[in-house]
Amino acid sequence: MKNLTIRLLLFLTLIIFQGSLSAKLYKWVDEDGKVHYSDKVPPEYNDQARQELNKTGVVKDSVDRALTAEEKKAKAEELARQQEEARRQAELKKQQQAERNKLIKSYSSADQITRLKRERITALERNIELAEENLVIQKRNLDDLLKRAADRERSGGVVSDAFTAQIEKSREQIENQQLFIVDKTEEIKDTEKKYNDELAKYLYYTGQTKSIEPIKTSDNSEQAASSKEIQ
């Protein structure tokens, strides 16, 4: 009988002890700034920040307050921005990889890029020289036509429609030749930029430079850049 009583007391003690261990203690602050402690959080404070404490008062877990509608919207927008930035970076990386493969396939060395640029610009400069020579001849022809027309008028003659059309055609040819020279001059600038950009990227993608930097237009500078190694 005595042993049965002892066992019953031990059993009751164990139940009470386990119950005390499983009991939870919460800490929260109301709208007036007053701190509360309880084993349950009132329903009206479920959206507020709270902490769960153990039996010694040490924080076991924390729950942040519920976000407001504006905060949820801002958080969603920030998440969308981060996702868009990640997508943009992935697309940029894909484009750079494609660009790298194309450059390495197109050129065997940095010197080849420099040589092709020089050849292309030399050809364009020759076109401009020929156009300027033709322009001089065309202007002389126009001056001659204008002089002949003026001589006819001074002598009382009539400048025919065909002759007037010839003068206008000469002027049109001069204008076209001038535009051609302007276009080829701009093409030289575009060619320099194109090959300079491709040279800079080629050096970067082949590991000869640490970053894509502008390449100077001087051939000497480009040759120096093509032999630059990572320091």
Look at residue 14 and tell me if it is in a domain. Answer: no
- How many domains would you assign to the chain? 3
**Rounded distance between C-alpha atoms, residue 123 and residue 187, angstroms:** 11
Residues 32, 130 within the same domain: no
Residues 93, 44 within the same domain: no
pTM (2 d.p.): 0.58
Residues 77, 99 within the same domain: yes
- pLDDT tens digits, one per residue of 24-73: 777 767 777 777 777 777 776 667 777 777 766 677 777 776 667 887 88
Out of 106, 129, 160, pick the residue that ends a domain.
106
pLDDT at 24: 73
Residues 92, 199 within the same domain: no
With contact defined as beta carbons under 8 Å apart, do 151 and 163 qualify? no
Tell me the CA distances in angstroms from 125 to 43, 176, 190, one per residue in order.
84, 17, 13
Q: In which domain, by residue range, is 75 found?
A: 67-106
Sheet with 35-38, strands from edge to edge, namely 35-38, 25-29, 50-53, 59-63
Tell me the CA distances in angstroms from 84 to 75, 81, 118, one per residue in order.
14, 5, 42
Residues 139, 185 within the same domain: yes
pLDDT at 128: 97
Look at residue 166 and tell me if it is in a domain. Answer: yes
Look at residue 93 and tell me if it is in a domain. Answer: yes
Residues 86, 171 within the same domain: no
With contact defined as beta carbons under 8 Å apart, do 140 and 174 qualify? no
- pLDDT tens digits, one per residue of 159-203: 999 999 999 999 999 999 999 999 999 999 999 999 999 999 999
pLDDT at 49: 73
With contact defined as beta carbons under 8 Å apart, do 208 and 110 qualify? yes
Residues 168, 120 within the same domain: yes
Residues 80, 178 within the same domain: no
With contact defined as beta carbons under 8 Å apart, do 228 and 203 qualify? yes
Look at residue 27 and tell me if it is in a domain. Answer: yes
Cα torsion 26, 30, 35, 36: sign: negative
Residue type, 126: R
- pLDDT tens digits, one per residue of 67-100: 678 878 888 999 999 999 999 999 999 998 999 9
